[in-house]
Structure 1
Amino acid sequence: MNFKRSDFPEGFDFGVATSAYQIEGSDFGGCGRSQWDDFAATPGNVVRGEDGGVACDHYHQWEGDLDLIKAGGFDSYRFSTSWARVMPEGRGAVNQEGLDYYERIVDGLLERGIKPNVSLYHWELPSALLDQGGWRNGDIANWFADFTEVVMGRIGDRVHAAATFNEPWCVTWLSHFLGQHAPGVKDIRAAARAMHHVLVAHGKSVQAMRGLGMDNVGVVLNFEYSQPVDDTPEAIESAHLFDGIYNRWFLGGVFNQAYPEDVLVGLEPHLPKNYQDDFPTIAEKVDFLGVNYYTRSIISPDGTDQFPAHKTVEGPLDKTSMGWEIYPDGLHHFLTWADREYTKGLPIYITENGMASYDTVDENGVIDDEPRINFLNQHMDAVKQAIAEGVPVKGYYAWSLLDNYEWAVGYEKRFGLVHVDFDSLERTPKNSYLQLQKALS
């Protein structure tokens, strides 16, 4: 690595991140069925029909995984809770095994001197709630607040930081308009309502955590840099609209009590009546913004007059094994832009950043993932630049600790600092992990 801990301000948190469905194993511990179990069971949705039933078996192997975090020299661990594990039907009865499990994780982290950073929702909607409309149903905001109270009533007194949602764009637009993630819907009205209801649920979850006396509460948004395919007015307008749907909608709701006008042109007819009345709830004060960043998209008009009337085209830069362009300047852009236009001095954490690479174990058991090391170096340079320009960036979490279940592409894309053999479940630190270990020592 071309950086070391002393290059960053005192107290800067270095961490790793995971999510529940991707590593735990939903077959274990009384976990209820989630929309991802249903989505994966539907032919054609997921590569090879793979699901998170076993995943990395973190449910049973969590102690060794926390030891890896400790040995790597990381300060903090960002994990998520599964709604279906804690409340198998989404409402009502609580699975005490699920609560006990998350308490073990939190206490295990504290025993190792690692700060627990929890995200309440990383896409695991209980199937029973999907049956009632899921994120299309406005009642879900209160259901999510109830879930928040159950989980944080048990562990909220010991977590260092708590986020309501991970990546609302994925929860809503990707999953309800593009149909690429669970529940696999392609419907503009469903998408618009989900985009609003998720933010109302965010606000009510913040209220619930405040009611429990919690601080250091925030939200994790994902960002994607949009570059017009050329300098024509049509391409520039298309890229701006992509930015509005992906980036400005969620920031605008949480921090400005307003949705972007260019996006409302297409979505306002589909929003709930009197949606504006929910903005005071959506804009409940938060203590930090989490920024997830991976790539940029090249945007072109799609030649139609149907909103949003744009498409993504292939760009010229080096790509990860996901086919995502490597564009570290985008991270610098979002850190400086969000601070200037929305958060205005609020602490910002990079809560996810990393790459899927073509990782293989050689005959000596070594995993030389030089592309990931280069990726991390380039993006840490962008972070250092933003800090030098006065942006209050307080931490960086690499995605991910482990190779894991990568949603619709199953187990074939590897984002981990630690290699997982999905047959034996053996963990092997990659060179990127070992180099970060040296940088943070």
Structure 2
Amino acid sequence: MDMTLARTDFPAEFIFGAATAAYQIEGAAHGNCGVSHWDTFAATPGNVVNAETGALACDHYHRFCEDLDLVRAAGFGAYRFSTSWSRILPEGRGTPNRDGLDFYDRLADAILERGLKPYLTLYHWELPAALSDLGGWRNRDVAGWFADYTEIVAKLIGDRMAAVATINEPWCVSWLSHFIGAHAPGMRDIRATARAMHHVLLAHARAIEVLRANAIPKLGIVLNFEHANPASNSDADIAAAKRHDGIYNRWFVQALMHGTYPADILDTLAAHMPTGFNDDMAAISAPLDWLGVNYYTRSILRDAPRQPWPSLEAVEGPLPKTAMDWEVYPDGLYATLSRLKRDYTGDLPIIVTENGMASDDRIEDGTIADRQRIAYFNDHLAAVMRATNEGVPVGGYFAWSLLDNYEWALGYGKRFGLVHVDYETQRRTPKASYEAFRRMLIGDSGTISLN
């Protein structure tokens, strides 16, 4: 099965890449990596499926050359990765870990040696446990700690990066982790949430200042967006969908682009926000060079008046689902990109930094025929093309993910990869979706050897 789209359907300068994240693939047990709050979260019974951790993950720490060869062989022009704060600064502050610095130095060189453009994300959810002990994202000092970490990374590999994002998915760092409690540190506290929602953006602002001072080019941040639909045409359900949209989508992009928080959400969160937060908004809204967009699905929301604020709940939709039980809704990506240009970003370049799906992939006769994933990518790329043709400045698309990997609280059971990973043997097996991308990007009808 092939994509119906071709590489020539997109502008020559359009970037195609594959994305990963440090904790999900590297293996935290190697190279004197420090303890992160994900290690302690996973060590607590009930937090992660099968109590699985990122101790070994995909052993990318030792196998990164093999993995980068797969990126190049597929015809991708860029590789999105993250550095681990805990690997570089095991205590979050103080003396850097020489093994960690050496690893990322070698990784940066290896990416460039293969003709790939390195897209770095400084924080993909790995907070050193020592900083979590001090309050983590609830503590305003986290902005300074993050700036110091950023300085180390900037001086180490910044001049070799094609682009740098500060933080991946602030909604997950703050709301999912401090209000819903599904991710580390696993809190369920509205005051902690409000402070984390602000401090994560303040940390971004301080990191941007450091990166600018070090003359690092093409700076951005990666936000996740979820298209919000009301469950009915009732005023109550429409208002519930608006609340979800305000928390999930508008809070972060409005702060970054307009220097304000949405009034309808701030009405509730103001009582829990840090004193003087408005004084930070000018720094938070400092100009960026690009915005990263992660998109996977939509939510259908209905009012839940008997529940505490935000008094809403998601209902199951009618569309086909992925293994995450997420609806496949490419129109939501088109709508998100169009809305961003219209309401927030204008001519600011946008990169789709994550898009993909989990499926129950199994090797049969040496292959993985993940046809649903091929259709998913094709339909979402068509949505990107539609937005681009209407003037939205989308400059690239990164498939999530290069490898099957550690899917956070869901452990190793959910497979997003273009490449299958046997976690017992660490053998990599390219899936049909990998081959479909390769044929789309470089027109090679051959197959990758699995030996």
Range into which the TM-score falls when normalised by the shorter chain: over 0.9
Alpha-carbon offset, residue 231 of structure 1? 0.4
Are 1:337 and 2:339 counterparts? yes
Match of 1:404 in 2: 405
The 5 Å alignment of 1:279-358 reads 279-304=281-306, 306-358=308-360
Match of 2:206 in 1: 204
The 2-side partners of 1:63 and 1:306 are apart by 50
The 5 Å alignment of 1:127-276 reads 127-276=129-278
The 5 Å alignment of 1:75-90 reads 75-90=77-92
The 2-side partners of 1:155 and 1:165 are apart by 17
The 1-side partners of 2:29 and 2:316 are apart by 38
**TM-score relative to the length of structure 1:** 0.99
Match of 1:413 in 2: 414
Secondary structure at the residue paired with 1:350?
strand
Amino acid at match of 1:300: R
Per-residue CA deviation, residues 22-80 of structure 1 (Å, 9 max, x unaligned), is 00000000100000000100000000000000000000000000000010000000000
The 1-side partners of 2:340 and 2:441 are apart by 27
Amino acid at match of 1:97: D
User: Which range moves more in the overlay, 332-341 or 50-59?
Assistant: 332-341
Secondary structure at the residue paired with 1:178?
coil
How many residues were matched structurally? 440
The 2-side partners of 1:88 and 1:281 are apart by 28
Secondary structure at the residue paired with 2:155?
helix
Are 1:27 and 2:29 counterparts? yes
Are 1:435 and 2:449 counterparts? no
Per-residue CA deviation, residues 115-174 of structure 1 (Å, 9 max, x unaligned), is 000000000000000000000000100100000000111000000000000000000000
Match of 1:361 in 2: 363
The 2-side partners of 1:235 and 1:2 are apart by 37
Contact preservation (8 Å) 1:294, 1:353: yes
The 2-side partners of 1:172 and 1:315 are apart by 26
Amino acid at match of 1:218: G
Which of 10, 13, 29 is the matching residue for 1:11? 13
Structure 2 unaligned spans of 5+: 443-451
Structure 1 unaligned spans of 5+: none
The 1-side partners of 2:92 and 2:284 are apart by 22
Contact preservation (8 Å) 1:50, 1:411: yes
Per-residue CA deviation, residues 257-301 of structure 1 (Å, 9 max, x unaligned), is 000011011111100111100001111211000000000011011
Q: What is the percentage of aligned positions where both structures have the same residue?
A: 57
Per-residue CA deviation, residues 392-418 of structure 1 (Å, 9 max, x unaligned), is 000000000000000001000000000
Contact preservation (8 Å) 1:320, 1:326: yes
Secondary structure at the residue paired with 1:403?
coil
Secondary structure at the residue paired with 1:157?
helix
Alpha-carbon offset, residue 306 of structure 1? 2.4
Match of 1:382 in 2: 383
Contact preservation (8 Å) 1:50, 1:410: yes
The 2-side partners of 1:23 and 1:359 are apart by 18
The 2-side partners of 1:225 and 1:268 are apart by 25
User: Which range moves more in the overlay, 310-319 or 347-356?
Assistant: 310-319
Contact preservation (8 Å) 1:207, 1:284: no
Secondary structure at the residue paired with 2:291?
strand
Contact preservation (8 Å) 1:72, 1:437: yes
The 1-side partners of 2:316 and 2:95 are apart by 48
Secondary structure at the residue paired with 1:225?
strand
Amino acid at match of 1:394: G
User: Which range moves more in the overlay, 267-276 or 299-308?
Assistant: 299-308
The 2-side partners of 1:77 and 1:300 are apart by 39
Match of 2:449 in 1: none
Alpha-carbon offset, residue 208 of structure 1? 0.3
The 2-side partners of 1:429 and 1:261 are apart by 47
The 2-side partners of 1:167 and 1:304 are apart by 29
Secondary structure at the residue paired with 1:156?
helix
Alpha-carbon offset, residue 303 of structure 1? 2.3
The 2-side partners of 1:254 and 1:215 are apart by 18
The 2-side partners of 1:312 and 1:178 are apart by 13
The 1-side partners of 2:440 and 2:58 are apart by 27
Amino acid at match of 2:254: G
Secondary structure at the residue paired with 2:160?
coil
Alpha-carbon offset, residue 305 of structure 1? 6.0
Per-residue CA deviation, residues 316-346 of structure 1 (Å, 9 max, x unaligned), is 1110000001100000011111111111101
